[in-house]
Amino acid sequence: MKTRITLCLIAAVAAACALQSENGEEAAAEEQQSEMVMAEVSELAALMKEIHADAKNWRTALLEGETVSADPEIYSRLTESEPTNKNVEGPVFEGLSQHYQSKLSAFLAASDIDLAKKEYNNLVTACVQCHQNYCHGPIPTIEKLYLPIAETRDRK
């Protein structure tokens, strides 16, 4: 019984995170116009779409043997962007944001392609670690970002 309740809670949290725009949409209006859906996307969700797209591009470049360069600053954007859920803040979120920042810095500093690939997978793990705490829904999508070099995964 206890397990079932826990599972339900986890499912509810995951659904709330994944279905946020639909909920916002319902509250906002009867009609479903795409502009209104856009308006419901939080700053943090928009940032997430951006870093997800970046990671996909980096993955493609690395597979082609190219290292990448990008803006190394992410911590303040993670911690200052308005989230959908007001509980997404505080020392744990800040710690996970700092951890992601350190993995991004290490990835961008990698001097050769083999190291860059290893650091890239560590970066993806940092995405997953924050999502295990705050937003379970996208984890299967995020895990597709791993490069197929299993031995370099930084599993905790």
Contact set for ligand HEC, span 63-82 (CB under 6 A): 78
CA 13 to chain centre: 16
Nearer to ligand HEC, 4 or 142 (CB): 142
121 CB neighbour count, 10 Å cutoff: 25
Is 102 a binding residue for ligand HEC by CB under 6 A? The answer is no
135 forms part of the interface with ligand HEC (CB under 6 A): yes
Is 116 near ligand HEC (CB under 6 A)? no
| Residues 116, 62: Cα–Cα separation, whole Å | 8
Residue 12, classified by CB atoms within 10 Å of its CB into exposed (0-12), middle (13-18) or buried (19+), is exposed
Residues that bind ligand HEC (CB under 6 A): 17, 20, 42, 44-45, 48-49, 51-52, 55, 78, 83-84, 88, 93, 96-97, 100, 126-127, 130-131, 134-135, 138, 141-142
